[in-house]
Structure 1
């Protein structure tokens, strides 16, 4: 632990979303507590047990689980609006929590990218707060340089930078600002502040420090990223590090050839058709299959002897015995598969998933299949190509070796501690 000359500030960690958003910030919170900081964790109420299990002080933010049933939640364009509307009660609760803290207490907010603009509202009401933003995936950061995908659309390498800037402006003007700015600017007016003209400019300009929660070999620093940015690593976190596989799952894994592991995100209640197609694809290939989801109703009701359902199992325990992982492309699942050296077939639906899939494919650690084309036949063909590809075998070994070589997460934690301390410098 570093020796700072002042009392280390209270760090308020704030995240929103599903377990994939929660786990990286839990890992950072525990690391900061080890460095002597008092840490309080704010997250949707459904995550209370996981945060308490980690031994952290927790303050619940209201969240309506009905949002998981919204058909637009996983829509490539409309999903942002669903998430934004769902998180507003939680953001109001966060502002009330920050306002109630002792006024003399130095504090810093370590926040999810979607929370940055609301953290900026807190700072206007409580000057002196420092803001650290943790960006979970490369596509969380706007750039015109390393841009394989813009949402679901591939961006050709030959496309001029001016045209890429025009595309970004169009995305923000049509899909981001109309959703986010009315709420933010209403709050800014009550604070006597001028309205913001760009949500994304606020998200990237407000933090005192930005950190990437992925390594540079996965998403290299770009010249148009925030200047006060530290590049980090995947903060992989397992809520049950000592957990072993359930006996029935162990028996299934040992009973035959290495199975396919299929998951589609902990918060996805719209995966029934996908899981049915995956089962049919596995049967076409003569492959065994494990469905990993907490939502049993999403999995075909009658499973053959070659198929198994499990509500939860640590991927670190399960993937070494798997033939391949079929998933949505969330950054946490993607990183776990790379750490295990497991071939990935990614079927992205929304958010950062398209970009993550493109990067895995570019690293030859997996393949991508469009969600709209994920029929049983297409899944079977893609899986056969994946499993027979020598390039993917080599690529998986390469990314596994990179992750095994060591983590830069300590550097990120040290940078946060220095930045938020009264005497620290970036």
Structure 2
């Protein structure tokens, strides 16, 4: 049995895949603990994993709110975000030290593998150095690898001093090559399929593309509710009535974080209404919506996506890989309104695959979005191609990833070459 210590940060698209990966590892007989945000305690424990909170619910809410402010401030701006200020305002350096101390306390010498979320899992790299443990980094999107030069620049110019100070306190030398250090994990996991990788700029061969991590036993968790049953459960009666109509509705799926712009809803909802469709609008943040919703718009905090998505005409979303995977598994066309770091890349991949369209945040005018929506609905090729890709989605990605993580330890407990 291997002790697997996992660390993840972010929202549903960052945490749920790690829960599914951990559940797969537990099913293979390993002891798994996930360090992540406090609101995910229930789904982590429901998956049979150990749970260590890295913050409180209030601290997590403040972290999301501050991240949203940074994204809003940089819309249309070529300048990078003030990452150092974000770290200081949300005590992320203190969180980093907490993760390091916890990982070292839980690690079993010779029988432990560390797994960190790509880019943010710095604690796993540091503990791997300190205690000579094998480490894997799991990327949720290809863009996390393609944007490594930007990541390296931000860490070298904004975060190097406080991180090196922390390293000195732990007896480690300063990082002299940030690009090499950020790429130093023994295993690089890509949580997407090879055919998705090939639909855009490819990632390096050393990235093991294992597939989308969708839970085979549930709906993979809704993108709208931090709850173990959020992706499953019965379809609400009012939704069932809409789905039973002659004309399938359009699903507008908001993010589980607060990072979406108000303009996302101002563009996506009219696009569906102008196409003559009823709208199922999902977001946990009612304050991002108008006080009075237009006729034909039904708002929900969450919906069971696995049951709903195959019965809608199209899905409008922000471009997170979790929602993309859900849509592909349902065989439904997608419209991505992208505004963050990785979303333009994922939107462009969907367009090349012929199953979706996308718009950057600088072009979110309702007429543009409406024109793309009508194209998705009127040209049957989108749905036909989505149906064909549906057959390419499997539920064995967690098992493939688990085998690669196991391979980091030889039977003798020595890191594999």
TM-score when normalising by structure 2? 0.85
Map of 1:201 onto structure 2: 180
1:6-405 matched pairs, under 5 angstroms: 8-62=1-55, 63-70=59-66, 71-73=69-71, 75=74, 77-78=80-81, 86=90, 87-101=92-106, 104=109, 106-125=111-130, 127-142=131-146, 171=150, 174-205=153-184, 207-220=185-198, 225=204, 227=206, 229-236=207-214, 237-238=220-221, 239-240=228-229, 242-255=232-245, 257-268=247-258, 270-403=260-393
Alpha-carbon distance in 2 for matches of 1:379, 1:283: 11
Deviation of 1:247 after TM superposition, in Å, equals 2.0
Deviation of 1:12 after TM superposition, in Å, equals 0.8
CA, structure 1 residues 223+340, in 2 after alignment: closer, same or farther (shift >3 Å)? closer
Q: How many aligned positions are there?
A: 390
Alpha-carbon distance in 2 for matches of 1:251, 1:390: 25
Contact 1:112 1:133 in 2 (8 A): yes
CA, structure 1 residues 134+384, in 2 after alignment: closer, same or farther (shift >3 Å)? same
Alpha-carbon displacement from aligned partner over 1:129-159 (angstroms, at most 9, x marks no partner):
22111111111213xxxxxxx6xxxxxxxxx
SS at match of 1:347: strand
Contact 2:264 2:337 in 1 (8 A): no
Deviation of 1:18 after TM superposition, in Å, equals 0.6
Deviation of 1:216 after TM superposition, in Å, equals 0.6
CA, structure 1 residues 124+419, in 2 after alignment: closer, same or farther (shift >3 Å)? closer
Q: What are structure 2's unaligned runs of at least 5 residues?
A: 215-219, 222-227
Contact 2:190 2:208 in 1 (8 A): yes
Q: What are structure 1's unaligned runs of at least 5 residues?
A: 1-7, 143-149, 151-167
SS at match of 1:59: strand
Deviation of 1:420 after TM superposition, in Å, equals 3.1
RMSD (Å), alpha carbons: 2.7
Alpha-carbon distance in 2 for matches of 1:34, 1:322: 34
Alpha-carbon distance in 2 for matches of 1:386, 1:310: 24
Alpha-carbon distance in 2 for matches of 1:394, 1:10: 44
Alpha-carbon distance in 1 for matches of 2:273, 2:397: 42
CA, structure 1 residues 291+271, in 2 after alignment: closer, same or farther (shift >3 Å)? farther
TM-score when normalising by structure 1? 0.83
Choose 411-420 or 267-276, whichever is displaced more: 267-276
Contact 2:113 2:408 in 1 (8 A): no
Map of 1:414 onto structure 2: 403
Alpha-carbon displacement from aligned partner over 1:330-382 (angstroms, at most 9, x marks no partner):
11111111111111110111122111111111101100111121122121111
Choose 216-225 or 267-276, whichever is displaced more: 216-225
